[in-house]
Each structure stands twice: as structure tokens, then as C-alpha cells.
């Protein structure tokens, strides 16, 4: 009596079964490739993460194997442990993929849909203003390009306008409490840059320090003071009930969602103890988050009439009154539409003569080589 084999010969497999086998092979291949791509994230994370993922996969494999054997009769012809091992492997592949997917999504978001700022040349026929949009934190390459353009503008005889609310003892406390959340804006931006693996813009302007010292008249802080902003805020609160109500509503919403500064302290502690691989993952996620947060249309703030509109008006007045015919300015990109509108209100001849876009956030280069 011959042995009976449970293995089906290729000729006995019908078309539907053959299609399911092919589909299963493709699914396993895709899962395996995704698993391999996820390994750098899994092992680049904290040391206990791989152990947790493996343990979770081993536990979840029991109900997964049971479910698969219930749904597919072909699986019931296999030994239980064979089904369990396959379920454990598949579950491990899926968990690793799910763990790595957000990191890869954020990395692709930064690469495929980069955050950009404008460099616009404005002119009314007699005076020309180059508006270089800026960000508080960005990639090293972006700031180097800006500094190169600034040095060229200086060599051409342009005067340089800088953004930066000027400190004033009368308004500093109000500014810190109302606009900076009780903290130091520069320190907050520097911390964000360190977290994301990005540079802080003020560090690069130090490259112009020698020229600023030798020719201070060519380097102008064109912004208002904290006291100016405080007085405008107080004026609008007293004269515009709608503005006052909107500010109070925004304060209430902000205070109800405020979780305190513990999160920032925990993040700093985490970064200090992180390995280079962990810092790389955190930086990738942070750059993607910043790109997503700033790429979309930013919701208007109740304080925009002070933060943007008031400063734009004062900036336009300074440009109009300036006797220099060529001005190169570095200002936050959000100021451009309002500034152009204010200039047009004074002289309809103002228009954008040229416009190009510059990428602000990119993956930091980490090059290596060998000396023979």
C-alpha cells in the first residue's frame, strides 16, 4: 500500500488556488522588503524596542495563527507550529513596518514636498527692494546661500534691512509674556534647531559681524521695538472691541491646552542621552513635522494685527522714507504679501519684478572619506 501525500501536484492546482499562491508570495515579498527597510528604525531606536516588538509578535501570533487556520482550509493541513511560526514572522514584519512607517513618511514629506520661502524683487521703477524670505531655523545650505547673496548685495552698495524686534525695557516684559509665552524666543528656536538637526539663523549672521562693525550704516534693524508693539496692542484693545475679544478668546484657548514646560525639559533630557542613531531618527521626524506644520496655510492669529500688520506698515514707511535706491532685506516670509500691499497703497507702481523660491529644510549632509 503506497503512502498518501497531502502535497498537491502542480497539475492538480486549479486557477483560483494558483492565483492565491501567487498573491501570497507577493504579499510575503512586500512584507519582507518593508521589514528590511524598517530594521534601521527598529534597531536605531532605544535598546529595548526590538525586544518589545519581538515579544509582542510572539504573543499576537497565537490569535493570528488560529484565525488563519479557521479561515483557510489549506492552512489546517499544516502542523500547528508551522502555522504559528509563519504567523509570528508575518506579525513581526507588520509591526516593524508600522513602527518605521511614520519616520519614512516624514522623511519623504520633507524630500518630495519641501518647505520653501520666496526671494522677491520689488520695485516702483525708481527704488528696488530684494525681499529674502527667512525662517528662524533651517538647513545650513539655505543660510549659506542667503549670506552669499547678502555679501554680493553689500559689494553692490545695497543697504541691508534685518528683521528683529528691538528690546526696550518698557515693553520687554509684555513681549515675553504676551508673544513669547513667558520664554526666550531665540532660545526656543535654537532648541528646535538642535532637535531637528537644523541651524539657527542668528548663528550665520555672525559671519557679517566684521562688516557690521566697519560699516554700521549699511546694516539696519528695520523692525519696531517691544514698546512700539505694546503701545499698538494697548491702542487696539482700547479702540477695537472685536480685537480685544479675539485676543481674550485666544488666551483662554491657549491656557486650556497648555501642558506646561515639562515636555520641553523631557525632550532636552532625551536628546542629551540619545545615541547618534537616535538623534538621527528624532531629527528626521522633527524636520518632517516642521515641514508639515509650516507648509500649509497657517491659521490667522488674533495678534496678527500687531505681529504682522503693524510691523508691515512701519516697514513700508521706512522703505518709502529711505533715500537709498537699493535695499536688500531678510524678513519672515509671511510679511511679503502685507508689505507689498502697504507699498502699493503709497504708490501703485510697486510690483514684483522677479520671484524665485528657495528650499529651507533639507537632510543634513554627513560626508566621510579616507586619506590614503
Say whether both 190 and 101 belong to one domain: no
Say whether both 144 and 212 belong to one domain: yes
Say whether both 179 and 321 belong to one domain: yes
Q: Which residues of 205-227 are buried (b: 16+ CB within 10 A; e: fewer)?
A: beebeeeeeeeeebbbebbbbbb
* Assigned domain for 21 exists: yes
Dihedral over alpha carbons 276, 278, 280, 283 (to 10 degrees): -130
Phi-psi region of 197 (alpha: psi -120 to 50; beta: other; left: phi over 0): left
* Regions of the chain short of the pLDDT cut 70: 1-17, 45-46, 73-74, 181-184, 254-274, 296-297, 365-370, 372
Say whether both 64 and 125 belong to one domain: no
Say whether both 77 and 154 belong to one domain: no
- Number of domains within the chain: 2
3-state secondary structure of 3: coil
Cβ burial of 119 (10 Å; 0-12, 13-18, 19+) is buried
Instruction: Note the pLDDT of residue 159.
Output: 97
Displacement of CA 36 from its chain's centroid (Å) = 27
Residue 283 CA to residue 280 CA, distance in Å, equals: 5
Residue 301 CA to residue 247 CA, distance in Å, equals: 9
Other CB atoms within 10 Å distance of the CB of residue 63 = 11
Say whether both 289 and 314 belong to one domain: yes
Cβ burial of 339 (10 Å; 0-12, 13-18, 19+) is buried
Residue 12 CA to residue 74 CA, distance in Å, equals: 14
Q: Which three cell numbers stand for residue 356?
A: 524665485
Q: Which residues of 73-105 are buried (b: 16+ CB within 10 A; e: fewer)?
A: eebeebeeeebbebbbbbbbbbbbbebbeebbe
Residue with cell 480685537: 243
Say whether both 131 and 243 belong to one domain: yes
* Assigned domain for 4 exists: no
Q: Which domain covers residue 325, as residue numbers?
A: 115-359
Q: Which three cell numbers stand for residue 303?
A: 495678534
Instruction: Note the pLDDT of residue 22.
Output: 81
3-state secondary structure of 332: strand
Strands 326-332 and 159-162: parallel
Name the domain boundary from 111, 135, 153: 111
Say whether both 120 and 177 belong to one domain: yes
Q: Which three cell numbers stand for residue 371?
A: 586619506
Say whether both 29 and 173 belong to one domain: no
Say whether both 159 and 58 belong to one domain: no
Name the domain boundary from 111, 140, 156: 111
Instruction: Note the pLDDT of residue 262.
Output: 46
* Assigned domain for 10 exists: no
Name the domain boundary from 111, 139, 163: 111
Instruction: Note the pLDDT of residue 261.
Output: 45
Q: What angle do CA 144, 150, 152 make, to 5 degrees?
A: 105
* Assigned domain for 5 exists: no
Instruction: Note the pLDDT of residue 50.
Output: 86
Q: Which three cell numbers stand for residue 299?
A: 491659521
Say whether both 204 and 57 belong to one domain: no
Say whether both 152 and 105 belong to one domain: no
Q: Which three cell numbers stand for residue 108?
A: 519623504
pTM of the model: 0.78
Residue 34 CA to residue 39 CA, distance in Å, equals: 9
* Assigned domain for 66 exists: yes
Amino acid at each position: 500500500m503506497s503512502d498518501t501525500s497531502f502535497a498537491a501536484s502542480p497539475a492538480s492546482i486549479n486557477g483560483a488556488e494558483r492565483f492565491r499562491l501567487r498573491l501570497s508570495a507577493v504579499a510575503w515579498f512586500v512584507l519582507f522588503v518593508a521589514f528590511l527597510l524598517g530594521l534601521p528604525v527598529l534597531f536605531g531606536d532605544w535598546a529595548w524596542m526590538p525586544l518589545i516588538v519581538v515579544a509582542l509578535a510572539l504573543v499576537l501570533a497565537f490569535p493570528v495563527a488560529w484565525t488563519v487556520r479557521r479561515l483557510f482550509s489549506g492552512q489546517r493541513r499544516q502542523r500547528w507550529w508551522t502555522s504559528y511560526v509563519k504567523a509570528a514572522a508575518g506579525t513581526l514584519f507588520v509591526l516593524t513596518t508600522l513602527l518605521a512607517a511614520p519616520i519614512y513618511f516624514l522623511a519623504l514629506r520633507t524630500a518630495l514636498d519641501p518647505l520653501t520661502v520666496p526671494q522677491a524683487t520689488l520695485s516702483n521703477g525708481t527704488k528696488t527692494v530684494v525681499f529674502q524670505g527667512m525662517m528662524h531655523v533651517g538647513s545650513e545650505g539655505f543660510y549659506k546661500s542667503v549670506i552669499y547673496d547678502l555679501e554680493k548685495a553689500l559689494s553692490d552698495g545695497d543697504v541691508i534691512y534685518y528683521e528683529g524686534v528691538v528690546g526696550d525695557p518698557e515693553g520687554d516684559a509684555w513681549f515675553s509674556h504676551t508673544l513669547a509665552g513667558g520664554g526666550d524666543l531665540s532660545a526656543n528656536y535654537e532648541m528646535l534647531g538642535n532637535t531637528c538637526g537644523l541651524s539657527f539663523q542668528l548663528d550665520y549672521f555672525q559671519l557679517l559681524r566684521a562688516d557690521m562693525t566697519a560699516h554700521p550704516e549699511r546694516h539696519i534693524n528695520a523692525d519696531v521695538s517691544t514698546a512700539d508693539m505694546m503701545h499698538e496692542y494697548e491702542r487696539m484693545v482700547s479702540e477695537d472691541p472685536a480685537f480685544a475679544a479675539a485676543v481674550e478668546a485666544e488666551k483662554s484657548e491657549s491656557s486650556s491646552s497648555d501642558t506646561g514646560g515639562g515636555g520641553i525639559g523631557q525632550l532636552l533630557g532625551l536628546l542629551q542621552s540619545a545615541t547618534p542613531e537616535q538623534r538621527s531618527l528624532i531629527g528626521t521626524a522633527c524636520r518632517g513635522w516642521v515641514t508639515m506644520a509650516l507648509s500649509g496655510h497657517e491659521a490667522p492669529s488674533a495678534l496678527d494685527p500687531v505681529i504682522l500688520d503693524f510691523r508691515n506698515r512701519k516697514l513700508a514707511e521706512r522703505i518709502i522714507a529711505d533715500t537709498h535706491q537699493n535695499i536688500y532685506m531678510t524678513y519672515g516670509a509671511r510679511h511679503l504679501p502685507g508689505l507689498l500691499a502697504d507699498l502699493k497703497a503709497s504708490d501703485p507702481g510697486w510690483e514684483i519684478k522677479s520671484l524665485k523660491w528657495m528650499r529651507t529644510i533639507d537632510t543634513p549632509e554627513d560626508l566621510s572619506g579616507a586619506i590614503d
